[in-house]
């Protein structure tokens, strides 16, 4: 009977050649061996490639359909039905262009979006909710903090560094992300005529944004840091990054009214409140008179008007949408075994306060926090007294310092 030949003894890793006495563990097979360090390296490489492949298929995996996007937005954003439709179509076309390249000779332009509407009407939330649905990196950049390169402040390329950081350093993932440029109306040209002096925080910012918004290759520092001569720079192509710019554009209504009615504003003229719905009549000429340069307007194919929220809509933001403020605070109180509730007249009073202050939905959380602050501070006293329920009514909204007895 012939003995089965024994496998040769292996004393080192077949991949890196490190001796078994040096490595943490050597896994030996019939003809080869691998050390624990090489196993860890292989695992890391496989994970990185898997993540990269998944990121590239973000939009392909999810059915990008305008109807589905609106359906998702309805869970988080109250009202704004027309704005949701226009935004959803623009975003659908943007990602269709990326993942379905057109035939040779045909070019499909980017579908960047400009959102016009008062403070607290949901502009930022619309953009953020879309990014969440698509599972792409998303950042908000404040236009008022931006300047031209070489001047004090954040140069426009800093947005790309922040987006790269949001994508955990994955360039390909960042190149399919969304950047929301807030307060874009605050970088309007100071006058309709070209400025003699350098306007580095107004028209200068618009000029600096042109190439990035349209599509170009920029070199940015890792992790969103400021550029440094000794730091390595990473190239990012912006041609597939969706840019959404938003602003309140205070005073634009007067410009639209002047054009559509032929009236001009001045001494002796009757000043009438311009409803935000009038933004739907906005034209590129109106935006240019406001101070947005024509080249910048041309980079945004979709101009969307977002309306001021009504009283009923603000109440829904407070109580009905997904992740609403009432549910958040109800949960916080439940941690201490206290049931929190609000009466209808309390909700109405909170909403009316926001309307008076013209803060829109942004002011709702502040109002709720102001109402609940004394109760959150005294929660230990409530527990000692055995109080298990707190019902916030109109009186407690008007007089938040009044405690539960």
CATH for 233: 3.40.50.300
Is residue 60 pLDDT above 70, yes or no? no
For the segment 100-121, the average pLDDT, to the nearest whole number, is 84
Least confident of 1-15, 91-105, 112-126, 378-392: 1-15
Contact 113, 359 (CB under 8 A): no
The stretches of 192-343 forming alpha helices (DSSP H) are: 203-214, 252-261, 284-290, 294-298, 311-319, 325-334
CATH for 351: 1.10.8.60
pLDDT at 243: 93
Does 274 share its domain with 372? no
pLDDT tens track for 344-393? 999 999 999 888 888 888 888 889 999 999 999 999 999 899 999 999 99
Q: Residue by residue, what is the 3-state secondary structure of 71-116? A: HHHHHHCCCCHHHHHHHHHHHHHHHHHHHCCCCCCCCCCCCCEEEE
Question: Confidence class of residue 48 from pLDDT cuts 50, 70 and 90?
Answer: low
Question: Confidence class of residue 196 from pLDDT cuts 50, 70 and 90?
Answer: very low
* The residue to which tokens 């390595």 are assigned: 232
Total number of domains constituting the chain: 3
Does 329 share its domain with 380? yes
Does 293 share its domain with 243? yes
pLDDT tens track for 287-335? 999 999 999 999 998 888 888 888 898 999 899 888 888 999 999 999 9
Contact 308, 117 (CB under 8 A): yes
Residue 83 lies in a domain: yes
CB atoms within 10 A of CB 126: 26
Instruction: Give how far Cα 9 sits from Cα of 5, 282, 371, Å.
Output: 12, 81, 76
Residue 217 lies in a domain: yes
Residue 349 lies in a domain: yes
DSSP 245: E
Does 315 share its domain with 294? no
Does 184 share its domain with 257? yes
* Residues of the domain holding 48: 7-56
Does 236 share its domain with 294? yes
* The residue to which tokens 């634009």 are assigned: 252
Does 25 share its domain with 105? no
Does 106 share its domain with 211? yes
């Amino acid at each position: 009977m012939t003995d089965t030949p024994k496998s040769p003894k292996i004393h080192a890793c077949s991949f890196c050649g490190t001796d078994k006495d040096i490595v943490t563990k050597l896994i030996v097979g019939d003809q080869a061996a691998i050390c624990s360090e090489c196993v860890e390296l292989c695992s890391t490489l496989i994970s990185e490639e898997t993540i990269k492949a998944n990121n590239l298929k973000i939009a392909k995996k999810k059915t990008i359909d305008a109807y589905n996007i609106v359906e998702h937005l309805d869970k988080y954003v109250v009202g704004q039905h027309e704005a949701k439709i226009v935004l959803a179509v623009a975003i659908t076309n943007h990602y269709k262009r990326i993942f379905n390249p057109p035939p040779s000779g045909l070019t499909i332009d980017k579908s960047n979006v400009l959102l016009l509407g008062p403070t607290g009407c949901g502009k930022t939330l619309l953009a953020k909710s879309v990014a969440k649905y698509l599972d792409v990196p998303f950042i908000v950049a404040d236009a008022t903090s931006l300047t031209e390169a070489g001047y004090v402040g954040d140069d426009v390329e800093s947005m790309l560094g922040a987006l790269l950081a949001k994508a955990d350093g994955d360039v390909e993932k960042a190149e399919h992300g969304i950047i929301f440029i807030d307060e874009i109306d605050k970088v309007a040209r100071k006058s309709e005529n070209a400025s003699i002096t350098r306007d580095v925080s107004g028209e200068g910012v618009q000029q600096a944004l042109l190439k990035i918004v349209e599509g170009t290759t920029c070199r940015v520092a890792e992790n969103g840091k400021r550029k440094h001569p000794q730091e390595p720079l990473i190239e990012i192509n912006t041609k597939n990054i969706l840019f959404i710019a938003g602003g309140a554009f205070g005073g634009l209504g007067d410009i639209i009214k002047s054009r559509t009615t032929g009236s001009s504003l001045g001494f002796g003229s009757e000043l009438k409140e311009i409803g935000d719905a009038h933004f739907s009549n906005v034209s590129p000429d109106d935006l240019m008179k406001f101070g947005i340069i024509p080249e910048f307007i041309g980079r945004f194919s979709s101009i969307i008007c977002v309306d001021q929220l009504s009283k009923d809509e603000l109440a829904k933001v407070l109580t009905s949408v997904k992740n609403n403020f009432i549910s958040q605070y109800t949960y916080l109180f439940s941690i201490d075994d206290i049931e929190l509730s609000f009466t209808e007249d309390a909700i109405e009073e909170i909403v009316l306060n926001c309307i008076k202050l013209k803060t829109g939905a942004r002011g709702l959380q502040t109002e709720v926090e102001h109402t609940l602050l004394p109760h959150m501070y005294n929660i230990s006293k409530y527990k000692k007294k055995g109080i298990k329920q707190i019902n916030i009514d109109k009186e407690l909204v008007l007089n938040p310092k009044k405690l539960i007895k």
